[in-house]
Structure 1
Amino acid sequence: MTDPQSRIPTPYKGSWVQDFLVALVFLTRLPIRPDFTFNMTALKSACRVFSLIGLIVGGVTGTIYILATFMGLPLLVSALLAVAGQVIITGALHEDAIGDVADGFGGGADKVKKLAIMRDSRVGTYAVVTLILIIGLKVAALGNMPDPLMGFAILVVAAAVSRGLITWALYLLPSARDEGLGHGAGRPEIMAPLVSAVLCTLIAILILGPHLGAVALLSGIIGAGMMGVIAKRQIGGQTGDVLGAIQQVSEIFILIACLMAI
């Protein structure tokens, strides 16, 4: 009998299923163990389904939000639990990223210093303040939704679209480093961001409807674009931390814009 441990993993071929699993491994802390080998370059293809991973993250955290509300908890408490759930599922991946970006951009005098600070594992004042604001804005937005079910829908779309926009950042922004996630992934082919755009549009329109879906898409693009422009001016492009910061900023833009548009 063949020992299961001795089986040779199949190579990565860039199928939809493989891309989905690769994206799930990179963007969450769910216990997924693909039965194929891959490296950073797989993200060039896998990034096309980032929005689908956001759909899962948003669906799980949105369910926490709804269940907590139905249990009679105040909306703000439900919102805090949902955000906490999101942090646990993703391993605070993007929160850690935007904290590093805040420290680097705020404390570095030039590109080299900024990149060095971003790599430093120590947490500075800029990171602490930014994380307080980021989490506070998410909780405040979700905690003030007029209808919990609408809050659930907006949370799901925000999680999906904001992660889908990472694909465009990978395509449009050059790597600011000669190493790391942003450089190792490489620039995806144009089909990856185009597929991501289609998926984001379908998710937003089907869940929120034409009007609110358009608000979510436009606000997410504005937030991601602003963060991308700042990163280009500060360090000349993107890093893994910048990609995470883009996700966080666009997600907050979507939550706040949709709250205003309801």
Structure 2
Amino acid sequence: MDRQTGGEAEWPGREALHDLAACLRFYSRLPVPQMPGEADPHRAPEFSRLPRMLPLAGVILALPAALALAAAWLAGLGPFLAATLAVAIMAATSGGLHEDGLADFADGLGAGGDRARMLAIMRDSRIGSYGALALFLALALRIGALATLLDRTGLAAATGLVLAAALSRVAALAPMALLPPARSDGLSAAAGRPAGGSLVTAAGLGILLCLAALALGLDAAGVVTMVLLSGLAALSVTGLARRRLGGQTGDVIGACQQAAEIAALLGLVAAVAP
């Protein structure tokens, strides 16, 4: 008997499917229906276990953008327009969640002052000059990297986009795993740290996705560089948050994801240089 539903039989992969659905609901604007056997699709996510499905959630979130990238390229729109369209669709699919975190993180650290002041600025919904600049540079780097990949590798750029989305979401677990919450209230404090098994599963899925990307023809040196640079970028943001804020917030996690995705794409560009 199912302990949660009181009568529905267990079936393999049910909890994983529920966690994947919860990931997509929390991290995107996609209309995710209630899954079979799911008691309450609107309840607060279980963050100790939820991150294990982030790599697959990243793949699903990136697929519309990857398809648009390939279609625009095949339609002859050119690399810049195709890349811009793909990044726009990525932002629309995710609701700009991570971009918002990056902007808030940049505003808080850019303004400076003591820890309390930076955290207060990060919580302010208004965007400042540092946040606007960070958003502009992040968008420009992602568009530029994708356009260059299209020019050098053609449709393989779509595979790179999907892999970067997945790897960056694994890398963004770094502050959750390594830092305490910077505030005593808020979502980050309520979420806690992901369980060790959840982190291992996320890493394992990330490795499988790298192997799948290799099977689809992505450059091996490029995949290795993407993994290394996305992890390094996430650890750098995590270290900065430790020094300046004494912990992590949702904005720190968002900034980690954006930094890791940009680093992964730039790493792939460097590896396939002409």
TM score, norm. by length of structure 1 = 0.92
Match of 1:250 in 2: 260
Counterpart selection for 1:110 from 109, 114, 123: 114
Does residue 178 of the first structure (1) align with residue 181 of the second (2)? no
The Cα offsets for residues 184-204 of structure 1, whole Å up to 9 and x where unpaired, read as 111111111111111111112
Comparing 175-184 and 29-38, the one that deviates more:
29-38
For the residues of structure 2 that align with 1:10 and 1:144, how far apart are their CA atoms? 50
Q: Contact between 2:58 and 2:166, CA under 8 Å: does it hold in 1? A: yes
Q: CA deviation at 1:205?
A: 2.7
Match of 2:235 in 1: 225
Q: CA deviation at 1:41?
A: 5.4
Percent identity between matched residues is 35
Label 1:191 to 1:144 Cα distance change in 2 as closer, same or farther (>3 A).
same
Q: CA deviation at 1:121?
A: 0.7
**Amino acid aligned to 1:139:** I
For the residues of structure 2 that align with 1:210 and 1:194, how far apart are their CA atoms? 23
5+ long unaligned stretches in structure 2: none
**Amino acid aligned to 1:168:** A
Q: CA deviation at 1:242?
A: 0.5
For the residues of structure 2 that align with 1:89 and 1:237, how far apart are their CA atoms? 28
**Amino acid aligned to 2:132:** V
Give SS of 1:121's match. coil
Give SS of 2:155's match. helix
Q: CA deviation at 1:210?
A: 4.0
List aligned pairs for 1:61-72, cutoff 5 A. Answer: 61-72=65-76
Match of 1:49 in 2: 53
Match of 1:90 in 2: 94
5+ long unaligned stretches in structure 1: 1-8
**Amino acid aligned to 2:162:** V
List aligned pairs for 1:151-166, cutoff 5 A. Answer: 151-166=157-172
The Cα offsets for residues 153-203 of structure 1, whole Å up to 9 and x where unpaired, read as 110100001011223331112111112222111111111111111111111
The Cα offsets for residues 200-247 of structure 1, whole Å up to 9 and x where unpaired, read as 111123203643221111111011111110111110111111101100
Match of 1:25 in 2: 25
Q: Contact between 1:204 and 1:216, CA under 8 Å: does it hold in 2? A: no
Comparing 119-128 and 25-34, the one that deviates more:
25-34
Does residue 234 of the first structure (1) align with residue 240 of the second (2)? no
Give SS of 1:36's match. coil
For the residues of structure 2 that align with 1:204 and 1:259, how far apart are their CA atoms? 16
Counterpart selection for 1:187 from 187, 193, 214: 193
Q: Contact between 1:75 and 1:144, CA under 8 Å: does it hold in 2? A: yes
Match of 2:221 in 1: 211
For the residues of structure 1 that align with 2:143 and 2:212, how far apart are their CA atoms? 25
Match of 1:4 in 2: none
Structure 1 stretches of at least 4 aligned residues deviating more than 6 Å after TM superposition: none
Match of 2:205 in 1: 199
